[in-house]
Structure 1
Amino acid sequence: MGGWEKWLTNSGGVFPLLQELHIENCPNLVEVKLEVLPSLNVLNINTCDSGVLRRLVEVASAITKLEIREISGLNDVVWRGITVYLGAIEELSIFHCNEIRYLWESEAVASKVLVKLIKLKVGRCDNLVSLGEKEEGDNCRSNFLRYLKTLEVCDCSKMECCSCPDNIEMLRVASCTSLTSIFFPTGGQKLKSLEIIFCEKLLEKEWRRQKTNSNNTIIMPILEDAYISDWTVHKSIIELKYLVHLTSLTITWCESLESFSGNELPNLTLLTHLQIHNCSNLDASFCGNWPLNLRFSVVGKLKKSISEWGQQNFPTSLVKLWLYGDDGVSSSSQISHLLPSSLTSLGIRKLVAEVSCGAVLVKCNLERL
């Protein structure tokens, strides 16, 4: 409906039972004459003018889920005028809104207007610099978006810093290529899931600042799932022993990573899934230090060839193992010491071999399993 310009009704502009509304690809729609939408819970607006968005949130105070995409004219001033009507919002998604630089003026203001926000997603907002214009991360604000549990920020190329509310449980940051700082005022005490992908400028010193500003308390003490990929400036990962609730850990394509506290892995008794691969400068051979209840692991393509790792003491719980081969492996005899009898599934990449493991015979090709 690209030519639609006015939304006029014969019913007095009242839809008392309407619960969900989607408006897509109506760039010329500039006038909406609706009086009230008392039952509207879900609003999705795609490729429309900001005036349409403003009018709809004005007449629909019960909206709990809002998704907006490619809204023209939606700058900081206009957006802040809209947020005052979002008091009931629980899920907010913002995509391709390139005129927004900050989602809120300050943490104090955000806490007054987005009082029920549980889930926030922001993606491909090319001019977004940070969530708040006045970052107050160094001051602990117990009321800052107190109900926010999930925060996802992806493909925001100009975003420089991300100050996270204290209560979030899941954080995902991906392809924010200008990001230098992610900050938790109290050390992410409630964070359960962390995913950082291709944030190539995220500084190690800024990450370590978490501990300094958290009065030396353990950071992310209840973290269960961690996924780190393409973190190109980080050189070390230490103090894993404090992450006693960790069940899944993935570290991949971190070319600058040099050290990893593998000797602390046995302390992670809940860890069942471990992936560490394609980190060419990581000097780790594990020396038999594996999580006691490990069930699935992907390892290889590290600084030291798999053939040089020596005897491994895998736990009997391990049933699925993927090995990334390299130029240092030319025959199955060089990796036979890595194959525990408990395996029910084995994958090998980047070498030609025929490997016998108990009753299982696996044939591998240079390019595929």
Structure 2
Amino acid sequence: MAVYVRVTTDKSRVFGREADQEKLLSKLLGDDAYNQNVSIISIVGLGGVGKTTLTQLLYNNENVKAQFELKVWVCVSDEFDVLTISNKIYEVVTGENKNFVNFDQLHLALQEKLSNKRFLLVLDNVWIEDQDKWEVLEKPLKGAPGRLPLALIAIGRVLKGKGSDEYEWDRLLKSEIWSSNDSILLALKLSYYDLPSQLKQLFAYCCLFPKDYEFNKKELVLLWMAEGFLNHPNGNMSMESVGFEYFEELQARSFFQQHSAGHKYMEPKYTMHDLMNDLTISVAGDFFYFLDAKMDVNGRNKAFEKLRHFSYLGRRGAENGKLEELRRSEHLRTLLMVLVRSPYYTLENFLVDIFPQLQFLRVLSLTQDSIRYVPRSIGALKHLRYLNFSGSPIQQVPKEVSELYNLQSLLVSHCRWLTSLPTSFHKLIKLRHLDMTNTPLLKKTPSGMVGLTSLQTLSKVIIERANGFKVSDLNNMSNLQGELFIEGVEEVTDPQQAMDANLEGKKGLVSLDMEWSDVFDESQNSVLEYEVFQMLKPPSKLNRLNISNYGGMKFPSWFVGPSFDKLTLLIIIDCPNLVELSTGVISTLEYLNISFCKKLVSIGENEINAGSSNRKSPLREVRLCGCDSLESYICANTVEKLCIEDFDSMTSVTMSTTLQELPTSLKSLAVHRCKNLKSLFYEQLQSLTSLEEMRIIKCESMDDSFPCGLWL
């Protein structure tokens, strides 16, 4: 995306647009525009009909200049990235390039700069109709959504669902909410009452989470599933698919808002407006209770006896005494410890006593610092379907967990001290999700996994010989989805076992990591590793591929052709024998990282960099590091961020001319410790019109060759 501070068009060369210009001027300068907080005008048409030219005429009109204190023109690229666009708006408004990474901070900063100002913002070359993204972008321009805008949005979504039914519209017009003292909350209740019955309980369930909580969509769906909320008349849909569909419906009705996408390759987070959170509490009734440090439990004896769903937000051990009231809740189904940050006051002693009383518990979440070890009395929870220890300092999951034969989800992600799981996993025949992400000390996959054919999440497997987990044990797990990390690929000694794994048949996988041993000695067989890798062909819809410590001299043949039409991220690290990387036409690749491949001499420049000759490459970010034999690199014109580090042999870096497109998109350039690099975009510097940041460190051979006046 580029930003133009000055926009010019020769008015004498524009014909036949006078009527259009007058109509648009009346909209820009008329009373309707003055009476609205934010007025939006869309100019729509086919490419090349003159939309930008017409807008430039308006932008430079003297009457427009006189009416607006501030004018901003932003040209949007093919990808509508809200954070990037908002950062560019801030940069043009303030003249400061701060590159905010947090949406909330950026929006507050923009609101402060635009407050009480009449401004004109032009977004040029926009090709998107995603309503959610537009709402996020508009938020700082018209102020954070308050009570009234949220209520209007909610009612608007209700009316949209009514279509043209005059009776329903009239019924809403005569509703009692318009005469209530708190019509805002009642208006939101109207949107709740309009929900299908199956969505009402899903929304009410969210009262168990504090205000400003960042929801992970999958986490919430797994909770709903464990509670039995995801029954669906269409038996062909999985419970998870039903849950995702329900979540998207709630989001479309403004019950959830996308908070931020974080890194573009991470799952987005969602929040709930404070008033929506109040509404969840209002409609949840006596069966739900959220307890934090500020609440008083006195006088709630009867309520605790009726309680079915309970969550606790605590930060100090002195508050743990309030949990004693749970002894009255014999029919409790949900126990969530939310954001517990008390490493010196954990709950093991309390849990040891109370577990035998919680015979009906379905959901148990003991994350972060709530526990240091898992009490063995957990085996009494025979109805448990969801068990979450994520982020806790536990070192092992006891064997009693393998007796929980109704368990659907076991989550131990980010348990950095975890070393072992129960060995008798074959008993968990209903297990659908086993998340072991970021468990570096866990070096053994439980035996008996081969029979768990319902598994959809299996984030990590460790391949062993003898009686350990074999890669062929993945054969029957055809329902795997999301991420899979295969550690210890060097233990696969027979390519047939790799073929039997049938990775290609696991259509739901979107991210695949394969890691060989980082011990490079005489025992390494590069030919065998190639043959095994050849048989581990991923599904064609893979989005991310990460290869580490592979010992072969080349990549498999399936990597050459146009096998993957969804691959956006490729990471290749520590492949000591890799000589040439030929990727075929990966026309979707956005991020490329190749590091410490010491023998690599060639990257298929016309393939990985430029895509096909008649199609613009989406490649945006490239990182090359420590590939000592690579002497040159030709960078695609579309790359926005290029980092080259620790090269002894590289002598030149140039821009691709395959697409004949100048100027380039490069914004950030970093070249570090390339002692023999002499040519850096030589004779192409005039094309680097988008460059914002350039760092060249310890590149001694460039001292005399870099153009005069640009070397610092």
Do these two structures clear the TM 0.5 threshold for a shared fold by scoring above it? Answer: yes
TM-score tier, shorter chain, comes to 0.5 to 0.7
Quickly say closer, same or farther: Cα 1:182–1:284, change in 2 above 3 A: closer
Output aligned runs, 1:86-235, within 5 Å.
Answer: 86-96=478-488, 98-100=490-492, 105-106=498-499, 109-112=502-505, 114-126=506-518, 130=529, 133=532, 135=534, 145-154=539-548, 156=549, 158-163=551-556, 164=559, 165-167=563-565, 168-184=567-583, 186-204=584-602, 207-208=603-604, 217=613, 221-235=617-631
Quickly say closer, same or farther: Cα 1:192–1:90, change in 2 above 3 A: same
SS at match of 2:471: helix
| Greater percentage in strand | 1
State the 1:270 CA deviation. 1.8
State the 1:189 CA deviation. 1.2
Contact 1:43 1:67 in 2 (8 A): yes
Contact 1:251 1:275 in 2 (8 A): yes
Contact 2:586 2:611 in 1 (8 A): no
Distance 2:466 2:554 in 1: 22
Quickly say closer, same or farther: Cα 1:234–1:218, change in 2 above 3 A: farther
Which residue does 1:84 correspond to in 2?
A: 476
Which residue does 2:662 correspond to in 1?
A: 267
Quickly say closer, same or farther: Cα 1:196–1:17, change in 2 above 3 A: closer
SS at match of 2:639: coil
Quickly say closer, same or farther: Cα 1:48–1:298, change in 2 above 3 A: closer
Distance 2:496 2:582 in 1: 17
Distance 1:94 1:136 in 2: 14
Which residue does 1:361 correspond to in 2?
A: none
Deviations 1:126-165 (A, max 9, x none): 568557637399xxx9xx61221111122x1624333445
Distance 1:284 1:75 in 2: 55
Quickly say closer, same or farther: Cα 1:182–1:32, change in 2 above 3 A: same
The runs of 5 or more residues in structure 1 that have no matched partner are 313-336, 340-369
Quickly say closer, same or farther: Cα 1:36–1:135, change in 2 above 3 A: closer
SS at match of 1:267: coil
Deviations 1:167-199 (A, max 9, x none): 321111112212223332x32211111111110
Which residue does 2:452 correspond to in 1?
A: 59
Distance 1:104 1:218 in 2: 40
Question: Which of 281, 289, 297 is residue 676 of structure 2 equivalent to?
Answer: 281
**Structure 1 position 34 matched with structure 2 position 427:** yes
Question: Which of 639, 645, 649 is residue 256 of structure 1 equivalent to?
Answer: 649
Which residue does 2:696 correspond to in 1?
A: 299
Quickly say closer, same or farther: Cα 1:88–1:135, change in 2 above 3 A: closer
% identical equivalent positions: 14
Which residue does 1:15 correspond to in 2?
A: 406
SS at match of 1:250: strand
Which residue does 2:632 correspond to in 1?
A: 236
Distance 2:476 2:453 in 1: 12
SS at match of 2:409: coil
State the 1:35 CA deviation. 4.4
| Greater percentage in helix | 2
Output aligned runs, 1:315-330, within 5 Å.
Answer: none
Distance 1:49 1:279 in 2: 41
Quickly say closer, same or farther: Cα 1:65–1:263, change in 2 above 3 A: closer
Contact 1:153 1:173 in 2 (8 A): yes
State the 1:209 CA deviation. 8.6
Amino acid at match of 1:176: C
Aligned residues: 295
SS at match of 2:474: helix
Distance 1:73 1:15 in 2: 31
Amino acid at match of 2:662: N
Deviations 1:43-80 (A, max 9, x none): 56864655x24x235236133242234x5437999211
Contact 1:255 1:279 in 2 (8 A): yes
Distance 1:263 1:181 in 2: 19
Q: Which has the higher contact order (CA 8 A, sep 6+)?
A: 1
SS at match of 2:512: strand
Amino acid at match of 2:572: V
Distance 2:476 2:668 in 1: 44
Contact 2:472 2:499 in 1 (8 A): no
Contact 1:187 1:218 in 2 (8 A): no
Contact 1:203 1:234 in 2 (8 A): yes
SS at match of 1:73: coil
State the 1:110 CA deviation. 2.9
Which residue does 1:356 correspond to in 2?
A: none
State the 1:17 CA deviation. 4.6
Contact 2:585 2:611 in 1 (8 A): no
Distance 2:431 2:553 in 1: 39
State the 1:233 CA deviation. 1.3
Amino acid at match of 2:678: D
State the 1:232 CA deviation. 1.3
Contact 2:435 2:459 in 1 (8 A): yes
State the 1:217 CA deviation. 4.3
State the 1:257 CA deviation. 1.3
Which residue does 1:350 correspond to in 2?
A: none
Aligned-residue CA RMSD (Å): 4.4
Amino acid at match of 1:232: D
Amino acid at match of 2:676: N
SS at match of 1:201: coil
Distance 1:93 1:209 in 2: 29
